[in-house]
Amino acid sequence: MIIANAFSLQMLSKFPAHVDIEEIAAADVSKLDLESAIGHTDTAAVLSSILGKDIKPNRVNVALQPGESIIVAQLMGGLLPEGATTLPEGFSFKFFKVTVQA
């Protein structure tokens, strides 16, 4: 499953499209076999720390087909300071599973 730090309409391969979005716990995300689509090194480092697994920075385009899902790690609290390896006080990540309906 792909993990990204954002969801964009560009990720949808067909229109019209319907998506389901559900929040998912970090503990459940950490159990998944993840392919990174995290474009920023600092974000990848912080997610690696939170999830307890190596998330490499990987700036790629994602095209989701009907029936496919992606995990979105949404940073809450602002922008990460440059060079961050842990979350600053007041920041958090929420994880969402976004599924394109078939």
Q: 2-100: which CATH topology?
A: Rossmann fold (3.40.50)
Q: Where are the domains of the chain?
A: 2-100
User: Does position 38 have pLDDT exceeding 90, yes or no?
Assistant: yes
Give me the pLDDT at residue 55, please.
97
Task: Confirm if 93 and 73 have CB atoms less than 8 A apart.
Answer: yes
pLDDT digits (tens, 9 = 90+) for 13-31: 999 999 999 999 999 999 9
Express each pLDDT in 39-84 by its tens digit.
999 999 999 999 999 999 999 999 999 999 999 999 999 888 888 8
pTM > 0.85: yes or no = yes
* DSSP 3-state of 51: helix
Q: Can you list the pairs that 29-32 forms with residues at least 24 positions away whose Cβ atoms lie under 8 Å?
A: 29/3, 29/71, 29/73, 29/95, 32/1, 32/3, 32/71
